[in-house]
């Protein structure tokens, strides 16, 4: 009994963190920063126990703990920690209580833990349902108008529709076949139409939360009008957990229909590239531009990993790391775009910011060049893996679409560069928080290290990723 409790300490520590936050609220007049501090300590403790007991698990018929699951849980926790460190600045600036936000952040990380470790479709469904609830409650932070109230309502209704689809798939499978291995066997022995329905119900629910086209509409709808911490969450925080789950499902459950799904992912990937590139150019809202950029990058990631070989998974993992790191740098810079105490989100509002905030503008340029995949910036490593993979597999159509979409997306980034450096200033800018400079420097140093030491991206990654292929 005591041994099992030790193995659950990673999850238990998150639950304890939530109780401590509530205890602070009831018995102390805690400040905004104190809630964030408690939450970050809880995240660190959870990661520590996850690493200490990385190969130990309770209820091994429902969950697994391997180097693969621990890697993606640690990466997800790192993103949550970094995101919390940035978000506190918005809450302090707006003077809004952070208790509910911190509670939801812990609940989000707990849902990541469940979906990453699950080897049972029933528990995966519960984890995704919990994540859907967290996403909806996060959207409530941005309900400053009747328009956004309808956005959050559309989001939850759409997500619930896909949740019902997955529930129908699980009912067809029946509980005794919810274990990943048994589900794969059931799908392989079923009629093709029935198997496709089961796979679609499970897969589509995951993709609507991930934001892959043609399931991107909820994602874009939510990000554009959302306040900055929530936009950052939707664009960055859940990506590692959903990627890890997507790979596990395709290598453990959907195996009997791997070749057919490869064609589906090809279509979704190409569609995401096109929608992402065109959508970014059609937008004037900075958060929306980079939301569409996220759709583009998810499309590239989907095309890269969909063969689900060791080399493709490694390439996808490298691409994902660089793109997340660069995009986090962009969102960090957003926290310095303020005028009269209001965070700026429209492209014309940052006109000529380079003249008064040269370091902020230079860092934005650095991150965007990395996301463009231009050598010698670290994004080039990920782009090279992707394009080389397409060329080696003779996928010249994909290569052509990827290159064309990349050029189209670059024009959206160039619009931002033109606004920052060349367009006439329209507003006066507030002095940014010095903490933003610190985070920008750290982010740029991490990316700079990858320029000179790209092997850091490869450290033990092949062995860890191969765990899911066995």
pLDDT, average across residues 199-224: 89
pLDDT for residue 152: 81
Torsions phi, psi for 118 (to 5 deg): -60, 140
**Element housing 130 (H / E):** helix 121-139
pLDDT tens for residues 106-123?
999 999 999 999 999 999
Give the list of residues 6+ apart from residue 395 with CB closer than 8 angstroms, or none.
Answer: none
Closest CA to 300 of 208, 405, 226: 405
pLDDT for residue 147: 58
Give the list of residues 6+ apart from residue 161 with CB closer than 8 angstroms, or none.
Answer: none
Residue extents of the structural domains in the chain:
254-470
pLDDT tens for residues 359-372?
888 898 889 888 88
Give the number of other Cβ atoms within 10 Å of residue 133's Cβ. 16
Q: Is the pLDDT of residue 348 over 90?
A: no
Q: Minimum mean pLDDT among 247-256, 353-362, 457-466: which range?
A: 457-466
pLDDT for residue 470: 59
Rounded alpha-carbon distances, angstroms, from residue 407 to 220, 278, 280, 310: 21, 11, 12, 29
| C-alpha dihedral sign at 88, 434, 369, 289 | positive
Q: Could you tell me the pLDDT band of residue 21, with boundaries at 50, 70 and 90?
A: very high
The label of the residue with tokens 């469904």 reads 125
Q: Minimum mean pLDDT among 11-20, 290-299, 429-438: which range?
A: 429-438
Greater pLDDT, 124 or 1: 124
Q: Could you tell me the pLDDT band of residue 356, with boundaries at 50, 70 and 90?
A: confident
Would you state the structure tokens that stand for residue 287, as one six-digit string? 């958060």
What is the spatial distance between Cα 67 and Cα 466, in angstroms, rounded to a whole number? 10
Q: In terms of DSSP H, where are the helices of 335-395?
A: 353-356, 358-372, 379-392
For 109-120, give the secondary structure using H, E and C.
HHHHHHHHHECE
**Helix, strand or coil for residue 63?**
strand
**Element housing 403 (H / E):** helix 396-421
pTM score: 0.92
Q: What percent of the chain has pLDDT over 70?
A: 93
Q: In whole numbers, what is the pLDDT of the chain averaged over residues?
A: 86
Greater pLDDT, 470 or 211: 211
What is the spatial distance between Cα 324 and Cα 435, in angstroms, rounded to a whole number? 20
């Amino acid at each position: 009994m005591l041994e099992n409790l030790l193995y659950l300490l990673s999850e238990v520590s998150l639950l304890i963190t939530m109780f401590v936050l509530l205890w602070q609220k009831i018995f102390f007049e805690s400040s905004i920063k104190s809630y964030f501090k408690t939450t970050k300590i809880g995240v660190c403790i959870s990661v520590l126990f996850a690493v200490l007991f990385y190969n130990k698990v309770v209820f091994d018929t429902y969950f697994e703990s391997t180097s693969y699951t621990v890697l993606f849980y640690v990466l997800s926790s790192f993103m949550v920690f970094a995101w919390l460190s940035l978000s506190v600045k918005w809450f302090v600036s707006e003077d809004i209580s952070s208790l509910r936000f911190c509670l939801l952040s812990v609940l989000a990380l707990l849902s990541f833990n469940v979906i990453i470790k699950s080897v049972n479709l029933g528990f995966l469904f519960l984890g995704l349902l919990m994540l859907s609830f967290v996403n909806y409650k996060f959207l409530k932070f941005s309900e400053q108008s009747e328009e956004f109230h309808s956005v959050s309502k559309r989001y939850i209704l759409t997500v619930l529709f896909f949740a019902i689809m997955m529930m129908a798939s699980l009912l067809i499978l029946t509980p005794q076949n919810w274990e990943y291995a048994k589900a794969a066997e059931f799908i392989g022995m079923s009629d093709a139409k029935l198997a496709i329905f089961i796979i679609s119900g499970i897969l589509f629910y995951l993709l609507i939360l991930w934001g892959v086209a043609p399931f991107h509409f909820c994602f874009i709808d939510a990000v554009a009008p959302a306040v900055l911490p929530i936009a950052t969450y939707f664009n960055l925080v859940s990506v590692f957990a959903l990627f890890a789950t997507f790979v596990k499902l395709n290598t453990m459950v959907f195996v009997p229909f791997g070749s057919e799904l490869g064609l589906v992912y090809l279509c979704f990937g190409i569609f995401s590239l096109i929608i992402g590139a065109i959508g970014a150019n059609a937008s004037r809202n900075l958060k929306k531009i980079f939301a569409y950029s996220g759709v583009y990058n998810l499309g590239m990631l989907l095309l890269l990993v969909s063969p689900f070989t060791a080399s493709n998974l490694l390439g996808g993992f490298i691409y994902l790391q660089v793109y997340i790191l660069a995009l986090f740098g962009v969102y960090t810079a957003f926290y310095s775009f303020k005028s009269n105490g209001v965070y700026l989100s429209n492209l014309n509002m940052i006109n000529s910011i380079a003249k008064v905030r040269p370091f902020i503008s230079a860092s934005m340029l650095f991150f965007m060049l990395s996301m463009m995949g231009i050598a010698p910036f670290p994004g080039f490593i990920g782009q090279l893996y992707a394009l080389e993979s397409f060329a080696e597999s003779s996928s010249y159509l994909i290569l052509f679409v990827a290159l064309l979409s990349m050029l189209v997306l670059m024009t959206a980034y160039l619009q931002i560069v033109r606004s920052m450096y060349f367009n006439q200033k329209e507003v006066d800018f507030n002095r940014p928080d010095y903490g933003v400079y610190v985070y920008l420097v750290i982010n740029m140093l991490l990316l700079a290290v990858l320029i000179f030491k790209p092997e850091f991206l490869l450290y033990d990654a092949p062995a860890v990723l191969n765990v899911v292929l066995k």
